[in-house]
């Protein structure tokens, strides 16, 4: 019930491909957990999804069925981390909030 790797740092314009290795999961942006001007995504269950992120900042995402179990991930695009506080303040279920806090410690 985890994304692997759950933290990624990429350059603006890079593409991330979410590949399902197990059934019953998706990847979608967490509301308000992306930089201003950034584009979110919403993958379908069991389907691969490819996202190209151009706006610099932090993008928090979740697996919808397992959000409550803490299945979340974080992508840092470039060096602008000014939306970190917004991600810390986003409303997440307790286990997801704990996991996101761990992932935010990898930002740099």
Site string for Cu ion, 23-62 (x = CB under 5 A): --x-------------------------------------
Determine if residue 69 is labeled as part of a ligand binding site: no
Classify residue 46 as exposed, middle or buried by CB count within 10 Å of its CB (0-12, 13-18, 19+): exposed
Determine if residue 71 is labeled as part of a ligand binding site: yes
The token pair at 30 is: 């967490």
Based on CB atoms, which residue is closest to Cu ion, 58 or 63?
63
Helix residue ranges, H only, 5-93: 84-89
**Among 30, 53, 71, 103, which residue sits at the site for Cu ion (rule: CB under 5 A)?**
71
Q: Could you tell me the CA-to-CA distances from 6 to 2, 73, 87, 101 in Å, in that order?
A: 7, 5, 15, 12
Least distance to Cu ion, CB of residue 33, Å: 17
Determine if residue 25 is labeled as part of a ligand binding site: yes
Q: Binding site residues for Cu cation, as ranges?
A: 25, 63, 66, 71
């Amino acid at each position: 019930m985890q994304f692997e790797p759950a933290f990624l740092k990429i350059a603006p314009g890079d593409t991330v491909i979410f590949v399902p290795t197990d059934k019953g999961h998706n990847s979608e942006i967490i509301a308000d957990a992306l930089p201003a001007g950034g584009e979110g995504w919403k993958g379908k269950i069991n389907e691969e999804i490819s996202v190209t992120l151009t706006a610099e900042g932090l993008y928090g995402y979740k697996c919808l069925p397992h959000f409550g179990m803490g299945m979340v991930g974080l992508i840092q695009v470039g060096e602008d981390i000014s939306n970190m506080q917004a991600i810390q303040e986003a409303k997440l279920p307790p286990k997801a909030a704990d996991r996101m806090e761990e992932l935010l410690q990898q930002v740099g």
